[in-house]
Structure 1
Amino acid sequence: MTLENKWALITGASRGIGRATALAFAREGAHVLVHYGRSAKEAETAVSEIRSKGGQAEAIQADLSTPDGAALLASRTRSAIGDHLDVLVANAGVSKASRIAGYTVEDFDNLYATNVRGTFFLVQQLLPIMSEGSNIVVVSSIGARFVVGVPGLENPSILAYASTKGALETLVRNWAAILGPQGIRVNAVAPGVIETDMSNFTKTDAGREVALGMQALKRLGKPEDVADVVAFIASDNARWITGASIPVDGGSKL
């Protein structure tokens, strides 16, 4: 996919979609920075797996939920790779499901701090080392465009989390317009229900039934299903795609 020898920073890459993406990029010949917030052991395991297969990877830590987290990660990225970054995959994020009455100000602030503010300022801080041919892929969600779950005041929902993904997709379109003249592409990938730690509800029969009921393809998504699409969008094969949000959801909500 022409990712050979490109430098890629993948946030939230110690597990789930981020980890699968790091492995996919390494298979295609990219040099990978495996970012993590708190999961140091899992990040080092991912790095070891990549290196055991002949790839190049390094773990890099920063807490993107803090006000200075994005600047710290950008600084550590520059220290690790120098003055040029080919790909940023903004995958790091947190989620929460609750009834509307159950959300707190702290919940809301944490969701936006990590998912939106961290991503916004990471892009800001990394732009000086991105140039023509570089690109950004933001991991969004089906929740940015569709109501997920069973609506109801007494039912838990991910509406606050979904609103952060909607904000990210708005940023993607604006970044694509602003950075296009510099030859920098920006796109989103919007997964449906994927079997990760963030989708604990799929571990129950009822949750699995709800997930499968809204999909045309009757299986739960795997992190690798998303990772392969991210790798394509980040490659030169997708050179004429920017400002898009690519659904990777098994035909959900058709």
Structure 2
Amino acid sequence: MKNLTGKVAMITGSGRGIGAHIAKRLALEGAYVILHDLEIHLLEETANEIRAAGGIVQQLIQSDLSDHDAGDTITQRLNVEKIDILVNNAGIAPVRSFQEVDQSMFNAMVDINMRAVFFISQKLLPYMNDGGRIINISSSLKKTYAPGFITYVSIKGFIEAFTKYLAGEIGGRGITVNAISPGAINTGLNPWFETEEGIKVLLNDQALKKLGQPSYISDAVAFLASEQASWISGAIIDVDGGFKLAP
């Protein structure tokens, strides 16, 4: 028996990268997946891959999370009455120093990485079955200083606090709320990860001497979405190979 047979899961930002890998993994576990992204061609590519592997795609939702009504837009487009799993994965991470961040960029990051997580969770909560799962994506960069990520990581601090407080607020319905903090994950979108320099820098920072793969994150999401994780809530789980634990 697959762990998520018959469950309905929505994954934001699932057109590519980690979000696409999460969607594929949940589908292989038996979930009916609702894919969300800004670009429809990316959604269609992910959907085709899932169907080719025998998974079920329930729906594609194209929307812009920078829209302040993003939560309402998504719920209005839902073609299901109930969902079981929400993965708040979508985000942007422009690299800018503190002095380079202007109000336009700051607002875009707050809208997509923070406001959307809050209000999509709020608007979808009435659709969520008791015993459901909300899984947010944070970042293991919170453990260190990385030039250019001051806005991104500051917002992830909000995500982790939000995760804990929402877990407390809705735990009476048996809904768990957890966050995963990925380390450096090679999604194939950044060629530097596969250079000799990149590999050396990344592995020097990790206790485990192997590069992060998207499957490591999707494995963790699949676990948190399963019945085996029914007594875990409010947790922030670092999936980062022991980032900053190397001697």
Using structure 2 for the length normalisation, give the TM-score. 0.93
CA shift, 1:53, in A, is 2.3
| Residue type of the alignment partner of 1:92 | A
Three-state SS of the structure 2 residue aligned to 1:231 is helix
Match of 1:104 in 2: 102
User: Residue 81 of structure 1 aligns with which residue?
Assistant: 80
Match of 1:56 in 2: 56
Matches of 1:199 and 1:107 in 2, distance apart?
21
Q: Which residue of 2 aligns with 1:153?
A: none
CA contact (8 A) 1:221 1:249 kept: yes
Shift of 1:219: 2.5
Residue ranges of structure 2 left out of the alignment (5+ in a row): none
User: AA paired with 1:50?
Assistant: I
Q: Does 1:139 align with 2:140?
A: no
Tell me if the contact between 1:193 and 1:199 (Cα under 8 Å) persists in the aligned partners: no
User: In structure 2, the residue corresponding to 1:127 is in which secondary structure?
Assistant: helix
Q: Give 1:44's aligned residue.
A: 44
Of 111, 114, 120 in structure 2, the residue corresponding to residue 113 of structure 1 is 111
1:1-254 pair list within 5 angstroms: 2-38=3-39, 40-57=40-57, 58-77=59-78, 80-82=79-81, 84-143=82-141, 145-149=142-146, 156-196=147-187, 201-202=192-193, 205-254=196-245
**Quick one: distance in 2 between partners of 1:190 and 1:198?**
19
Q: RMSD between aligned alpha carbons?
A: 1.6
> Identity percentage over the alignment?
40
171 and 112 in structure 1: CA distance in 2 versus 1, 3 angstrom threshold: same
Q: CA deviation at 1:54?
A: 2.1
* Structure 1 residue 220, shift from structure 2 partner: 2.0
Aligned residue type for 1:211: L
- Whole-angstrom CA distance in 2 between matches of 1:197 and 1:64: 24
Task: Indicate conservation of the 8 Å contact 1:148/1:157, yes or no.
Answer: no
Q: Within 2, Cα distance between the matches of 1:111 and 1:148?
A: 19
In 2: Cα distance, 1:166 partner to 1:197 partner: 26
Structure 1 residues 174, 199: CA separation in 2 closer, same or farther (over 3 Å shift)? farther
What's the secondary structure of 2:60's corresponding residue? strand
Hey, what's the Cα distance between the residues in 2 that align with 1:201 and 1:93?
Answer: 20
TM-score scaled by length of structure 1: 0.90
Secondary structure, aligned partner of 1:67: coil
Residue 109 of structure 1: how far off its partner (Å): 1.0
The answer (yes or no) to whether the contact 1:95–1:198 under 8 Å persists in 2 is: no
Give the unaligned 5+ runs of structure 1. 150-155
> In the alignment, is the contact (CA less than 8 A) between 1:172 and 1:187 conserved in 2?
yes
Q: Is the 8 A contact 1:2 1:236 kept in 2?
A: yes
CA shift in 2, pair 1:170/1:200, >3 Å: farther
Shift of 1:147: 1.8
Which string of whole-angstrom CA distances, capped at 9 and with x for unpartnered residues, describes residues 43-82 of structure 1? Answer: 11111111122221032111111111221012212xx112
Mapped contact 2:85–2:225 kept (Cα < 8 A): yes
Per-residue CA distance 1:87-143 (angstroms, 9 max, x = gap)? 000000000212222211111111111000011000110011113211100011102
Report the 3-state secondary structure (helix = DSSP H, G, I; strand = E; otherwise coil) of the residue aligned with 1:246: strand
| Structure 2 CA distance for aligned equivalents of residues 210 and 101 of structure 1 | 26
Separation in structure 2 between the aligned mates of residue 159 and residue 213 of structure 1, nearest angstrom: 22
Letter paired with 1:172 = T
